[in-house]
A and B are shown apart, each in its own frame.
Chain A
Amino acid sequence: MDFRMDLVIDYMPFFLKGALYTIGVSLVGILLGTILGLLIGMGKIMRNKLLALPFILYITFFRGTPLFVQILLIHFGLIPLVIGQTNAIVAGIVALTLNAAAYIAEIFRAGIQSIDRGQMEAARSLGQTHAQAMRYVILPQAFKRMVPPLGNEFIVLLKDSSLLAVITVPELMYWGRAFQGQYYKIWEPYLTAALIYLILTLSMSYLLGRLEKRLATE
Chain B
Amino acid sequence: MKKRSLISLVLMGTLSLALAACGEEETAGGSSGDSGGEKEKLRLVTDGAYAPMEYLDGGEVTGFGVDFAEAVVEEAGYEADIEVIGWEPIFVEIEGKTADLAVSSITINDERKETYDFSVPYYLSTNMIMVPEDSDVESGEDLKGKKIAVLNGSTGQEAAETIAGENSTDVLKFADNNLAIQELLAGGADAVIADNTIVEYYTQMNPEQKLKVVPDEDFADEFYGILFPKGSELKADFDEAIKAIIDNGTYTEIYQEWFGTEPDLETLKAQQ
Q: Quick check: do A and B touch in the complex, using CB within 8 A? A: yes
A-side interface residues toward B, CB under 8 Å? 1, 14, 66, 68, 75-76, 79-80, 84-88, 163, 165-168, 170, 174, 177-178, 180-182, 184, 186-187, 190
Q: How far is the CA of A177 from the CA of B174 in the complex (A)?
A: 9
From B17, B91, B111, B157, A1 is in contact (CB under 8 Å) with B17
Contact B186 A68 (CB under 8 A): no
Contact flag A68-B2 (CB < 8 Å), given A79-B186, A186-B9 = yes
Residue of A nearest to B172 (CB): A168
Contact flag A184-B186 (CB < 8 Å), given A68-B3, A174-B173, A177-B175 = no
Would you call B165 an interface residue if the criterion is a C-beta within 8 Å of the partner chain's C-beta atoms? no
Residue of A nearest to B17 (CB): A1
Would you call B35 an interface residue if the criterion is a C-beta within 8 Å of the partner chain's C-beta atoms? no
What are 12 contact pairs spanning A and B, CB under 8 A? Answer: A68-B3, A76-B185, A84-B187, A86-B188, A174-B173, A178-B173, A180-B152, A181-B154, A182-B157, A184-B153, A187-B13, A190-B9
Contact flag A85-B188 (CB < 8 Å), given A166-B175, A178-B173 = yes
The residues in B between 154 and 173 inclusive whose CB is less than 8 angstroms from any CB of A are 154, 157, 167, 169, 172-173
Contact B186 A181 (CB under 8 A): no
* Binary per-residue interface labels of chain B (74-93) against chain A in the complex, 1 for a CB within 8 Å, 0 otherwise: 00000000000000100110
- From residue B106, how far is it (CB to closest CB) to chain A in Å? 11
Contact B187 A180 (CB under 8 A): no
Extra contacts besides A76-B183, A177-B175, A184-B111 (20): CB < 8 Å:
A66-B3, A68-B2, A76-B186, A79-B186, A84-B187, A85-B187, A85-B188, A86-B186, A86-B188, A166-B174, A166-B175, A167-B179, A168-B172, A168-B183, A178-B152, A178-B173, A180-B152, A181-B173, A182-B157, A184-B115
Residue of A nearest to B16 (CB): A186
